[in-house]
Chains A and B, each alone.
Chain A
Amino acid sequence: MTTALSIKNLKKTYDTGFQALKGINLEVEQGDFFALLGPNGAGKSTTIGIICSLVNKSSGTVEIFGKDIDENFSLAKKDLGVVPQEFNFSMFEKVIDIVSTQAGFYGLNRKQAMEKSEHYLKKLGLWDKRNEKARFLSGGMKRRLMIVRALVHEPRLLILDEPTAGVDIELRRSMWEFMKEINDAGTTIILTTHYLEEAESLCRNIAIIDQGQIVKNTDMRSLLTQLSTETFILDVRDDIKDLPALGAYNIQQIDSRCFEVEVEKEQHLNSIFSILSEQGIEVISMRNKVNRLEELFVSLVENSVPNLTNGAVEEVAK
């Protein structure tokens, strides 16, 4: 299997003395859909910035499909496409000009640039807006424009830095479909997002970065099996006055038709349903209380997530 991205002992210390990356090692295989997660300020954007040449690294190496970004700059960059977090195109240019200009930066001639621009603008539903100036596009359209721009030279590695931030649910889902489609077609994707259900449903492998270090790097399935306890919320058809007796399971009532059950790793759900059936309680729906990945994520990075309750809130109030 070819390695799409290889990062070795990557370090970054800013002029202020802040050490954003403390020696990161990371490998992403070709064709993967990879999640790079971490709390704000963990080092995700610095890592992506270094891969894309937007940030100077202090030390370490980065290779894209085996080509070092320092020694083989042009070849490495040709395989890379980036959708950044924030809008970074000229608001005064037309959509078609933004996309075709980007194609030109990769050496595509005018004819090729226009063909690719048309293809991807149509694919992302922006062809009708091609002659509009970028500043007149809606937020969702601007996000799609950045995806088109990143794809116009057909990179083999695509980095999506929070591509669905601030996007409505409908558009987010259509973007997920599109990402899956291009990944199925062979493009390796690295995704950073704060929507953990997005990472859970799209990505096969995951790295969690915290305080400039990779604290977890594994496949999604293995990571999720590390959850020792899952909490499920059960909705029942009829009102229940007293909580049903569920033996070894911890149970808590939410309201008269809803309660939550904690299920340990070694326990299973079948026995819960059997006990409830025996007691004449009909379950009409069930869901996870918290997204599973979110639960793991919080446990892995809990030291760096600021506690805004109690003392912190009091301090703000003063």
Chain B
Amino acid sequence: MSWQEKWIAFKTILNREIRRYMRIWLQTLIPPAITTGLYFVIFGNLIGSRIGEMGGYDYMQFIVPGLIMMAVITNSYANVVASFYNTKFQRHIEEMLVSPLPNYIILTGYILGGVSRGIIVGIIVTIMSLFFSDLVVENILITITVVFLTAVLFSIFGFINAVFANSFDDISIVPTFILTPLTYLGGVFYSINLLPEFWRSVSMANPILYMVNTFRYGILGVSDIDITWAFVAIIIFIVGFYMYALHLLNSGRGIRS
């Protein structure tokens, strides 16, 4: 395939992914908006007003970046895991396997599909947050870059989960038992400086902490961790897990017998 044909094929996968989640927007785009809206009302307005300041900002302002990032993470992950598993389940993955599509185009198409949903949901949540808090972005470049890279990383995770999944239960185990706890413990609702020394050290092993804090740094200019190290870690994770996902596709794991 020429590069032009590969570009067309990539756009075709991406368009199909966008078409898929737009077709079921009531399940894909609205629920995160409602859930995050409830977080803003309950944790931000009702409870947050009694908490006072955190990291030098009022509590509502502090949790907004974390909630936006949480929505980006869960939606980019959910999009790829659900879509790719469904493709396997309904067997229309065969449409791609019989075609001349290189595996890296398939993988990149799915990842960018997840990224696009993560970012759209992130924008919706950001707009919602404007009803509850004044949002001034401190560093737009860092903010956009970290959102994009985080969405890429969690889309790759979603893809790997879908490759190994053999049932619909398998695609909900990781989000329920790993992703959600890590997100909640990743400094979305609190600063890790509030934790005792031991638990602060444990929290440093949570990759989501770096993403939430880097994003928070982009918006508020405050962070619990060194953002340079956070960027390096995210990029290393992306390269490593992308290569692993590509290896899974090339070997036909969970796809070819």
Comparing A3-11, A99-107, A284-292, the segment that makes contact with chain B is A99-107
Which chain A positions have C-beta within 8 A of B50?
A: none
Which chain B positions have C-beta within 8 A of A14?
A: 257
Which chain A positions have C-beta within 8 A of B19?
A: 93, 97
Comparing A31-39, A74-82, A190-198, A259-267, the segment that makes contact with chain B is A74-82
Measured CB to CB, the residues of B under 8 A from A are 1-2, 4-6, 8-9, 11-13, 15-16, 19, 23, 86-87, 90-92, 94-102, 252, 256-257
Closest A residue, CB atoms, query B86: A90
Chain A CB within 10 A, most for which of B4, B100, B102: B100
Closest 10 CB pairs of A and B: A107-B5, A104-B12, A77-B100, A105-B99, A74-B100, A88-B91, A52-B98, A74-B1, A88-B94, A90-B92
Which chain B positions have C-beta within 8 A of A101?
A: 12, 15-16, 95
User: Roughly how many angstroms separate A56 CA and B92 CA in the complex, as a whole number?
Assistant: 18
Considering only residues 52-94 of chain A, those with a C-beta below 8 Å from chain B are 52-56, 73-78, 80, 82, 84, 86, 88-93
B114, chain A: closest CB distance, angstroms: 18
A56 and B257 form a contact (CB under 8 A): yes
* A-B contact list, 23 entries, CB within 8 Å: A54-B94, A54-B98, A56-B256, A56-B257, A73-B102, A74-B102, A78-B1, A84-B94, A86-B91, A88-B92, A88-B94, A89-B95, A90-B92, A101-B16, A102-B95, A104-B8, A104-B9, A104-B15, A105-B13, A105-B101, A106-B5, A106-B99, A106-B100
User: Roughly how many angstroms separate A92 CA and B24 CA in the complex, as a whole number?
Assistant: 10
Interface residues on A, range: 20 to 34
B23, chain A: closest CB distance, angstroms: 7
User: Roughly how many angstroms separate A149 CA and B87 CA in the complex, as a whole number?
Assistant: 17
8 Å CB contact of A105 from B4, B86, B96, B257: B96
A304, chain B: closest CB distance, angstroms: 21
Which chain B positions have C-beta within 8 A of A149?
A: 95
A105-B9 in contact given A73-B100, A88-B94 (Cβ < 8 Å): yes
A108-B8 in contact given A75-B100, A88-B94 (Cβ < 8 Å): yes
A135, chain B: closest CB distance, angstroms: 10
User: Roughly how many angstroms separate A90 CA and B91 CA in the complex, as a whole number?
Assistant: 8
Closest A residue, CB atoms, query B1: A74
A244 at the interface (CB under 8 A from B): no
8 Å CB contact of A91 from B23, B90, B101: B90
A54 and B256 form a contact (CB under 8 A): yes
A106, chain B: closest CB distance, angstroms: 6
User: Roughly how many angstroms separate A194 CA and B2 CA in the complex, as a whole number?
Assistant: 40
B40, chain A: closest CB distance, angstroms: 33
Which chain B positions have C-beta within 8 A of A15?
A: 257
